[in-house]
Structure 1
Amino acid sequence: MFNLSIFDQLSPDLYTPVLLYYPEESTPLSDKILRLKSSLSLVLAYFYPLAGRARDNMFVECNDLGAKFLEADVNCTLSEVLVCPCLRELKKLLPINVETNEASIGQLLLVQANSFRCGGLVLAISISHKIADGATIGNFIRSWANAAGNCANIVPPRHDASIVAPSMNHWMGISPLVLPQHKTLTRRYVFDSSKVDGLVERTSTKQVGRPTRVEVVSALLWKCMVKASTRRSGVEWKRSVFLHTVNLRPKMFPPIPENTFGNLVGHYWAEMREEEAAEIDLQELVMRLRAEKANYLENYVKEELVGEKIPMGVLADAKSIHELLNNKEVELYVCSSWCGFPYYETDFGWGKPAWLSVVSSEYKNVIWMADARGGEGMEVWLTLGEDHMAELDKEALLMEYANLNPSISW
């Protein structure tokens, strides 16, 4: 039995998708799939909760019912997908829908190996958010690739998060985070390294110094989304809130090892009033994001996420987010950054991927960031309501810095 931590209990019921795109090379597809299957069995011995089933939002029954491995043939070439990615169509490559409560009651890991007519391969991995955050997913995929490539560099996960952050009984009012589902549109933006550098220079100040790539792109997106939102008719919100997720492992006191299995994610957020949208500059937004992150780490993580206080501190944070989601006067944006995760190093024995992607979402106001291939630029997947996205498409400032859904080269 694997006990859930309080972080796991509060995580949303959905699958996190990761798609890795491998162009054709000399290794036959049949050999690749055989290697994927055999190495998956090996690595699951270390990541054994992924082969179990979650029970009652309290624990994972490690009953060896197993992960699911599917195979699919795709009747086109991989280049047809990469030359002009259709974000909605990419969902067809997944083994299961993202938005399903199966993530909390069914299989926790599903994989689909998609074989293309040209010999290319897309490996689609869906992992339940109930037991894994981005850091855990990254460690699992890296270990799987190392096992497939006959590399001994497998970092076994630690399964003691529930000791650091014990679970709580249902009577404490625990309920997983529920993101609103709407009719949405997802756009993919790629920021070249030179454009990101330009944003950094534009927003550097004596107070902040040189901001990070994530900070400047977050500020740009936030300003453009709020300006677009104010042009919509019937908008009720008065405050805009931009929320970032944080990998808490290195931020805790003392730090938690990076290979700790599960969800260890915190949240900080900054606010903007509706009337500020037109005039506020990017420097001010960067300073707000930086200040709120520093305040969160110093006054919340350092004071509330220590020792026996951890479960109640996590629960208080979750209740604050629930209040933001349910407040009609607040427009909440949720941003998750995978920048710095070495997904483009994922070599199962036939080379590194040409592309990493997620899929389009039915969750409104969600932003996903990752390094672009090469590591210097950034890729952003942004999902908004249909009417909101129609207005964002008019924002010249965004298109000054971002390329909309460019082709993937390899």
Structure 2
Amino acid sequence: MEKVEVEFVSRKTIKPSSPTPHHLLHYQLSFLDQISPPVYIPLVLFYSAETNRETRLDRADISTRLKSSLSETLTRYYPLSGRLRDKLAVECTDEGVPFLETRVMCRLSDMVQNQDTLELRKLVPFAINAADDVILGVQFNVFEYGGIAVGICLSHKVADGLSVFVFVRTWAAICRGEVNVVSPEFLSATLFPPKDLSGYEPSTGIVTENIVSKRFVFKSNGIELLKAKYSAGIDSLNQRPPTRVEALSTFIWSRFASSTQVFSQAAKLCFLVHAVNLRTKFDPPLTEHSFGNLYRVAITFLSPGMNGGCGDLVPRVRETIAGIDRAYVERLREGDEHLSFINQASEMYREGEMISLNVTSWCRFSIYEADFGWEKPTWVGSPALPYRNLVVLMDMKSGDGIEAYIHLKEEDMVKFESDEELQKFFLSVLHAVNLCTQMDRALSKLHFGNISRTAGTRPNTYISGNVGCKIVSQVRDAIRQVNVEYVKKLQQGDGHLNSMRERGEKISKGDFVSFSFTRLCRFPIYKANFGWAKPVWVGSASLTFKNLIVFLDTKSGDGFEAWANLKAKDMAKFENDKELLAYASPNINVKSYILQGEGIFHASAALCGNTTER
């Protein structure tokens, strides 16, 4: 998308509604706070202009309510309005929280549809990698044509991801007038007393240059197939199937390792790292309202054989995560073993002796419940973070998948997003279907107009087996769904229009790649005799669509012409594909492919569908 212009409007400091009591003026950081990186955890919550009339507020009212409720929330979260001192404690002197208001010179829909993680940084109040003594900042963004976004930065020196999400949900509950709101518990320094960190640098790993962040959407049906695929390496009698996070992080690692050839660097050790919530590891467990950095990481060593199928990686990941248990927590509380370990790991990182892929999951944190009183968020986005080889997982609002924010070196991202196995996750195949024959009473060929619709398929080509046959079956099932009942629904409601809008948004966001087929076969175009002769040949001019295939009968009737419209770089690869050329004869001048004789059914299957009977 084009660069977004954000105009600063005002700045105000929000202080707690009640002064912080004298005995709470000094908030001690815990050991886990001390070793957390000096960055802000950013979050942007988007709220569309299309709210219910009963709850619709003007922008000034929204701003007033946000500031008033934030003031009340800060009385409960008193450290957030203080200032960090000497990296050891927060002085809770009620200096307040910066509250910025801006005007964003674009439509909210433009931002949501394109979802550029670097542009999202403009909607939060601070530079993410420059955390200073200010703990919390808020930016209230008003879009030019309606809609708002609430941007938040909360220092990682005092809070982990779950604490940030619970704070936002608490603030939203207070804003919408909830009475029974649970207050936070500040136990972290008691559970993990501070230590002398001489020699340890918490900023290790923060990178500001040559890092690219992109958002990838993995739908639930694909994740379920990955879970089934990786279940093969698990003892099904004694263990549960892989979780969504286990399966997805394993898949992302496999594509990262394969595309970047990490194991070709023989001198380096490779690790898959998962952030683990410690609250559930206590006896009794802590609640989600326990505030602070209450997480640690499970580190799985990776061997060269794991850059492909990763069949045995899920059990190993599960084993390392299971090692973060109550006994681990007790060792973490009692000794200096962990400090010694992270010092050693930091040294290895600085010396370039290790490669790690770090995964943090914000799934099931219920951030879409953050209703401030006008509506739940349209979308919650994560601005680009200053880390290399970082994956942040978040639930989609629909609950039908997971968004993965992946941060890699620029050259690694180019390789990663070009990985063929990864790309198969985002492919959608569309077939045009004639509706004339799908009516209660079939229409004749004389009916004029756009009487067609598309059947959509998400080919599951990333699973093993006879891929061609499986795709043919999936396509055929999708085409069968465009039937009489489908036409009735199309005539009666707005469901199809909403579906088209959703698909258009997903394509523009890059959630999936669309590949479309339309068939002009059995249309008697070669009978178009104007009085002197039938056509020698009927051709199709180049169309302004990417990834479009148009099928036409050859004049002789013994094959198809397939007119392929692709990007130039894709066409260069496509027309040299050996399997394609085994069935098709290329016409270099017009970029068409003639599918001849008996090979027609085999070729159409290889090209994702047997459509000749339609």
Q: Sort the Cα spacing of 1:333 and 1:148 in 2 relative to 1 into closer, same or farther, 3 A.
A: same
Alpha-carbon contact 1:229-1:235 (below 8 Å) kept: no
Q: Which of 50, 56, 59 does residue 29 from structure 1 map onto?
A: 59
Residue in 1 that maps onto 2:582? none
Deviations 1:318-369 (A, max 9, x none): 3354245235231112211101100011100010001111112332111111
Residue in 1 that maps onto 2:325? 297
Residue in 2 that maps onto 1:329? 353
Residue in 2 that maps onto 1:63? 93
Alpha-carbon contact 1:196-1:401 (below 8 Å) kept: no
Q: Sort the Cα spacing of 1:403 and 1:143 in 2 relative to 1 into closer, same or farther, 3 A.
A: farther
Deviations 1:234-286 (A, max 9, x none): 9565332111111101113443332111111111011223x32554x233121
Q: Take 1:126 and 1:406, find their aligned partners in 2: how far apart are those partners?
A: 30
Deviations 1:285-327 (A, max 9, x none): 21221121123337633x5135xx1x52442453354245235
**How far off its partner does 1:376 sit?**
3.5
Q: Take 2:324 and 2:385, find their aligned partners in 1: how far apart are those partners?
A: 28
Larger displacement relative to structure 2 (46-55 or 286-295): 286-295
Q: Take 2:321 and 2:94, find their aligned partners in 1: how far apart are those partners?
A: 41
Q: Take 1:357 and 1:399, find their aligned partners in 2: how far apart are those partners?
A: 22
Residue in 1 that maps onto 2:189? 162
Alpha-carbon contact 2:276-2:321 (below 8 Å) kept: no
**2:276 aligned with 1:249, yes or no?**
no
Q: Which of 205, 217, 220 does residue 248 from structure 2 map onto?
A: 217
Letter paired with 1:138: F
Residue in 1 that maps onto 2:30? 5
**2:284 aligned with 1:260, yes or no?**
no
Deviations 1:77-99 (A, max 9, x none): 10111222222211111111111
Q: Sort the Cα spacing of 1:326 and 1:236 in 2 relative to 1 into closer, same or farther, 3 A.
A: farther
Q: Take 1:160 and 1:385, find their aligned partners in 2: how far apart are those partners?
A: 38
TM-score with structure 1 setting the length: 0.91
Residue in 2 that maps onto 1:76? 106
Q: Which of 371, 375, 380 does residue 404 from structure 2 map onto?
A: 380
Alpha-carbon contact 1:53-1:60 (below 8 Å) kept: yes
TM-score with structure 2 setting the length: 0.62
Q: Which of 215, 224, 234 does residue 188 from structure 1 map onto?
A: 215
**How far off its partner does 1:374 sit?**
2.0
Q: Equivalent residue of 2:299, what SS?
A: strand
Q: Take 1:256 and 1:165, find their aligned partners in 2: how far apart are those partners?
A: 14
Q: Equivalent residue of 1:40, what SS?
A: helix
Q: Equivalent residue of 1:243, what SS?
A: strand
Matches within 5 A, 1:129-140: 129-140=156-167
Alpha-carbon contact 2:113-2:508 (below 8 Å) kept: yes
Q: Which of 158, 176, 189 does residue 202 from structure 2 map onto?
A: 176
Alpha-carbon contact 1:85-1:407 (below 8 Å) kept: no
Matches within 5 A, 1:56-135: 56-100=86-130, 103=131, 105-135=132-162
Q: Take 2:221 and 2:165, find their aligned partners in 1: how far apart are those partners?
A: 27
Greater RCO, 1 or 2 (C-alpha within 8 Å, sep 6+): 1
Alpha-carbon contact 2:30-2:189 (below 8 Å) kept: yes
Alpha-carbon contact 1:185-1:385 (below 8 Å) kept: yes
**2:95 aligned with 1:44, yes or no?**
no
Deviations 1:116-173 (A, max 9, x none): 01220010000000001112111111110000000123211111211111111344x4
Q: Take 1:237 and 1:393, find their aligned partners in 2: how far apart are those partners?
A: 26
Q: Take 1:381 and 1:155, find their aligned partners in 2: how far apart are those partners?
A: 31
Larger displacement relative to structure 2 (320-329 or 284-293): 320-329
Structure 2 unpaired stretches of 5+: 1-25, 429-505, 512-614
Q: Sort the Cα spacing of 1:62 and 1:216 in 2 relative to 1 into closer, same or farther, 3 A.
A: same
Who wins on radius of gyration, i.e. which is larger?
2
Residue in 1 that maps onto 2:459? none
Letter paired with 2:204: V
Q: Which of 34, 39, 42 does residue 14 from structure 1 map onto?
A: 39
For the aligned residues, what is the CA RMSD? 2.3
Alpha-carbon contact 2:281-2:324 (below 8 Å) kept: no
Q: Equivalent residue of 2:76, what SS?
A: coil
